[in-house]
Amino acid sequence: GQNIDQPTEMTATEGAIVQINCTYQTSGFNGLFWYQQHAGEAPTFLSYNVLDGLEEKGRFSSFLSRSKGYSYLLLKELQMKDSASYLCAVKDSNYQLIWGAGTKLIIKP
Amino acid sequence: GAVVSQHPSRVICKSGTSVKIECRSLDFQATTMFWYRQFPKQSLMLMATSNEGSKATYEQGVEKDKFLINHASLTLSTLTVTSAHPEDSSFYICSARNEDSNTEAFFGQGTRLTVV
């Protein structure tokens, strides 16, 4: 079967750095996505990785290792508004998105 | 950037009635739209893939006669929850694929459906 694993919940301090991990086992791979979802709202796109390595975009970076079936989202200089759920999703061989359950990130002052 | 508009954002209906949710791509043509359902504290669950001009493809376990999908134009897909029951109460989200972009999708704002 297809599976996306990420921690259920993480807590971090304002101004600090946090890394959210995602491991996947899917039938084929056509890219990995990270989305941010605030409670009661739709997800918003953060990043897309299809090749190994690190993609940096402002305070957010995303890393991919296809051989390990592993990705992480790195958030720097955390702000209170970063409190949200972070969803990892993989596009499989049928170009269908397989979603992780999301990681709820709690930011404390 | 691309925008997807979903309407209504919130609806309360009586058990047994039907509810229609609209999903519009505002600045691009979407040959494919996706409908998701998300229960509290759970992941997005794909319900169906909506294809313009053809029948929708439903995921296993999703009743096509209960969740009617119509994708009559390149910018509009609708999901109708027929004979709604309290267990259909959920957060429904649509997304539209921009064929020119590598990102899956742009999401609508979501619709919070409460069936009483």
Chain B contact present for A96, CB below 8 A: yes
Q: Tell me the DSSP string of A47-108.
A: EEE-SSEEEEETTEEEEEETTTTEEEEEE-S--GGG-EEEEEEEE-TTS-EEE---EEEEEE
pLDDT in tens, A46-89: 999 999 999 998 999 999 999 999 999 999 999 999 999 999 99
Tokens standing for residue B53: 């001009």
Which chain A residues are within 8 Å of B43, Cβ to Cβ?
A: 87, 99-102
| Residue in B91, B102, B104 nearest the CB of A97 | B104
CB A12 within 8 A of CB A74: no
Distance (Å) from the alpha carbon of B15 to chain A's nearest alpha carbon: 23
pLDDT in tens, A20-40: 999 999 999 999 999 999 988
Inter-chain CB pairs, A–B, below 8 Å: 43
Say whether B107 and A44 touch across the interface (CB within 8 A). Answer: yes
A42 confidence band (pLDDT: 50, 70, 90): confident
Q: Which of A69, A95, A75, A76 is nearest to A5 (CA)?
A: A69
Distance (Å) from the alpha carbon of B103 to chain A's nearest alpha carbon: 7
Distance (Å) from the alpha carbon of A88 to chain B's nearest alpha carbon: 10
| Residue in B43, B45, B102 nearest the CB of A48 | B102
A105 confidence band (pLDDT: 50, 70, 90): very high
Place of tokens 């229960």: B39
What is the mean predicted confidence (pLDDT) over B23-38? 88
pLDDT in the model for residue A69: 97
Tokens standing for residue B106: 């742009």
